[in-house]
Amino acid sequence: MAFHFTDRSRFFTVTVLHTFVFRSLMLRVLLIISVTFILTENVFTQGLSDSPQRVLSNAFEKGNLMVALSDHQWRPGLNLAAAHLAIGGTVSLNVSLEEGVEYVFVASGPYEQADVDLYLRDSTGTILARDQQEDGTPVVEFRAPANGAYQLQLHLVAANEEMAYVALSLLCRRGRQIPEQDYHKVATGFFAAAHKVRASVPGIDWQKQPGEWCLFGYSLRENEGATLRKLQHPEGQKIIAAAAGPEPAEISLYLGTDDGQIVAKTQQATAYPLLDYSNPAVSDLDLRLDVERARAHILVLVGVFQ
């Protein structure tokens, strides 16, 4: 069947739309095939353990595959996150997007047989893009129509266990490269430090509050920083640990209120800062991360324990 348009602009619009849809479909197919192959290899070498380390590694591998398959790189600032969800649970991440920039968001479950859905909403809650395919690698491509706040929602539809870790990768055009060896170097140090935190403090584990993230990843340069707004802090002890690299770096962590009052901070800037805070009552606090010194852009992983 042939379509004829007298309006050339209409023909151009339809052609571009079909090209974009075809490209998105092909990227998705290639990504899922490549991820399935890699994760199948990991099953034989690492087992099927469900952990933040495993799911974050899966998310990074998927993100780096998308970098290789497309012209996107890692989003500057926040570009990785992980959470612990029950089947049927949802976790949301607020992000600032820039007008005209093309983004790709790739979610990941604990294994490819899990069913994970991904949604992107605007500030009014309207769904702008979604991936509800029955697989563990939902992919959302989106060009922001305006500067502003948007919300990513990750929903765990099905998994082998009642609870599972999920993760998210954030990419964009004209982003930053994160070589695989750099990620693994930083992740190895970070998860070793996380193990020490959990082993040395009785009753402390990864944050598992419903709807809350327990792990974040950032690409930052010297004098850059990032703020996580309104982290839920229940009464009692909370520990926030971070690791930066692969180059030597010094970072600081702060907890503060909406009005800018600092309630806790690290004593000095280091590559492995740790913030130990006892909250007297349930409250929402902002977490601030500042890079005091770094030779180039670095990867920073931040874990929340309670």
Q: Which domains does the chain have, with CATH numbers?
A: 8-173 (2.60.120.380), 180-305 (2.60.120.380)
Residues 76-107: pLDDT tens digits? 999 999 999 999 999 999 999 999 999 999 99
Q: What percent of the chain has pLDDT over 90?
A: 68
pLDDT at 186: 97
Name the 3-class secondary structure at 244: strand
Summarize the confidence of residues 185-203 as an average pLDDT. 95
Pairwise CA distance, residues 221 & 200, whole Å: 32
Question: Per the structure block, which two tokens stand in for 181?
Answer: 């060896």
Name the 3-class secondary structure at 77: strand
Handedness of CA 196, 170, 223, 177 (dihedral sign): positive
pTM: predicted TM-score of the whole model, two decimal places: 0.85
pLDDT at 27: 53
Name the 3-class secondary structure at 153: strand
Summarize the confidence of residues 234-252 as an average pLDDT. 92
Pairwise CA distance, residues 279 & 262, whole Å: 13
Q: Token match 């750099």: residue?
A: 182
Pairwise CA distance, residues 272 & 249, whole Å: 9
Considering only 35-39, 66-70, 276-280, which range has the smallest mean pLDDT?
Answer: 35-39
Summarize the confidence of residues 277-300 as an average pLDDT. 90
Cβ(298)–Cβ(291) below 8 Å:
yes
The more confident residue out of 8 and 289 is 289
Summarize the confidence of residues 262-267 as an average pLDDT. 93
pLDDT at 6: 38
pLDDT over threshold 90, residue 155: yes
Handedness of CA 210, 300, 184, 76 (dihedral sign): positive
pLDDT over threshold 80, residue 235: no
Summarize the confidence of residues 134-158 as an average pLDDT. 96
Q: How many residues does the chain have?
A: 306
pLDDT over threshold 80, residue 32: no
Q: How confident is the model at residue 234 (pLDDT cuts 50, 70, 90)?
A: confident
Radius of gyration of the chain (CA): 20
Mean pLDDT value across the chain: 85
Bridge partners for 175 per DSSP = none
Alpha helices in the chain (DSSP H): 8-46, 52-69, 180-200
